[in-house]
A = this chain, B = another copy of it.
Amino acid sequence: MRSAAILFLVPGAAHAAGTGVVGENLLWLALILLSARLFAPLAQRLGFPAVLGELLLGVLLGNLSLVGLHYFDGVAKDPIIAFIAELGVIVLLLQIGLETRLADLVRVGGRAAAVATIGIAAPFALGTLLAGPLLLPGLSQNAYLFLGATLAATSVGITGRVFRDLGRLDSREARIVLGAAVIDDVLGLVILAVVSGLVQSGKVSPGGAAWIVVEAGLFLGGSIWIGRLIAPHSSRWLARLDAGPSMLFAQVLATGLFLAWLAHVIGLAPIIGAFAAGLLFEPVFLRHFETPRIVQEAAPLLPAGERGKNLRALMEKHARHQHESMIEPIGYFFVPVFFVLTGMQVDLKTLAEPTLVAIALGITLAAVAGKLAAGFAAGRGVSPWVVGWGMVPRGEVGLIFAVAGRQLGVLDEALFSVIVIMVILTTLLTPPILTQLLKRRAQ
């Protein structure tokens, strides 16, 4: 029998083998892919958003070790599955970017900046000055600062997914939250840099903090501006070489991956780059590519004149969204992996200590209150509750901050657990609440 061992002894041979670099990953991906599709509709039947189903599936798989099943313990730590999850959230933000018009985002720019600023300042102040000293007395000032920084974080993945699942990405609330989340990511970096600087050397570097803001601004503005200058021309060149769907697909996805990498390199979250890539493609830039095959084949069959008008309009709409339809299956594959893995980060053992849970509930209250306050900075004509709850989930960003704090020795195990519970609660509570708010508003 062909020995698996042979395949792993020689570098490079494993992939050449075509016989499974870590074959187990194939099974894990199959299980995540299919069971996410079972949990998502089940959650929807119970009135919850699909993403909650995927998160809870993750919580379940990640905590099976509590009942002695250790099969999935390796999944959350596997670098290949982690990379697929990473691709998942990058693809999600690319999709959200493609479905968002830049002009709409710019129009709410001022409101988004206000929401982002309050959404950072209010939870930071609440955590550092009130909830921290009150609920966890006797800790160092640095610990309170880090707690505040964690509360200031925003994770746009969860909220974006809820808006997208409900087809509400084109609402003013969605645009404000998306814009604010992008600004938040930058401000969050500044806070983390400042707080880490304070903790490590006892002093803040104003130049360093300013540089992060400038760099992030240059990246965002520059990539979208340059991208929109290049995209019409690159599309024409690429379509001249091959006007088929694979080239169109490759241009959009490769741009998303490239800007995600670029964002990562300059220290921003890759998802910011992916979102920027989505924003820079307008359907009109992509008009040099062939229309989808069904549109081509239907063209000679369409009735002439007035009678075929609606069908022609439908075909045009389908052609205009060709690139989004092609990214869609990539999302079906990758996106659930991200949410299931996010759920797997939840360690239910942290919920076993009543005191910690009580403190965590208090911290969570501060976390929610701070972001809801930001919602009221969104101005007239939008629901402050939708915007506020849209900013609530801390998700993976909150976890990064907590991990950084533990690395620096500022957060002890107890405070770390409190923060993890806060992250869990804000992440799991938001999807159902936001869904209810949006459904009520739609009526």
Q: Which A residues have a C-beta under 8 Å from some C-beta of B? A: 1-4, 6-7, 9-27, 29-31, 33-34, 36-38, 40-42, 44, 76-77, 79-83, 85-86, 89-90, 155, 157, 189, 192-193, 208, 212, 238, 241-242, 245-247, 249-251, 253-255, 257-258, 260-261, 264-265, 267-271, 294, 297-298, 301-303, 307, 310-311, 314-315, 318, 326-330, 332-333, 338, 341-342, 345, 395-397, 399-400, 403-404, 406-407
Complex CA gap A21/B345 in Å reads 16
Query: Which of B3, B19, B267 contacts A269 (CB under 8 A)?
Result: B19
Complex CA gap A3/B197 in Å reads 12
Given contacts A2-B192, A294-B318, contact A261 B17 (CB under 8 A): no
Given contacts A10-B403, A16-B345, A16-B400, contact A83 B1 (CB under 8 A): no
Complex CA gap A167/B319 in Å reads 23
Query: B21, A333: Cβ atoms under 8 Å?
Result: no
Query: B27, A258: Cβ atoms under 8 Å?
Result: yes
Interface of A is mostly: helix
Query: Which of B22, B79, B250, B253 contacts A21 (CB under 8 A)?
Result: B79
- What's the minimum C-beta distance from A39 to chain B, rounded to whole angstroms? 10
Query: Which of B19, B80, B265, B342 contacts A23 (CB under 8 A)?
Result: B265
Query: A400, B19: Cβ atoms under 8 Å?
Result: yes
Q: Which 10 A-B pairs have the closest CB atoms?
A: A15-B82, A30-B257, A41-B242, A23-B264, A26-B261, A34-B254, A37-B250, A20-B264, A18-B396, A1-B267
Query: A11, B77: Cβ atoms under 8 Å?
Result: yes
Query: Which of B1, B76, B258 contacts A212 (CB under 8 A)?
Result: B1
Query: Which residues on the B side are within 8 Å of A155 (C-beta)?
Result: 18
- What's the minimum C-beta distance from A305 to chain B, rounded to whole angstroms? 12
Complex CA gap A396/B90 in Å reads 31
A156: nearest chain-B partner, CB-CB: B18
Query: B241, A397: Cβ atoms under 8 Å?
Result: no
Query: Which residues on the B side are within 8 Å of A267 (C-beta)?
Result: 1-2, 4
Query: Which residues on the B side are within 8 Å of A330 (C-beta)?
Result: 329-330, 333
Query: Which residues on the B side are within 8 Å of A11 (C-beta)?
Result: 77
Complex CA gap A33/B301 in Å reads 35
Q: Please, could you name 14 A-B residue pairs with CB atoms under 8 Å apart, sorted by A?
A: A2-B192, A9-B403, A15-B82, A17-B399, A21-B82, A23-B270, A26-B264, A34-B251, A41-B241, A42-B241, A245-B332, A246-B332, A249-B332, A297-B314
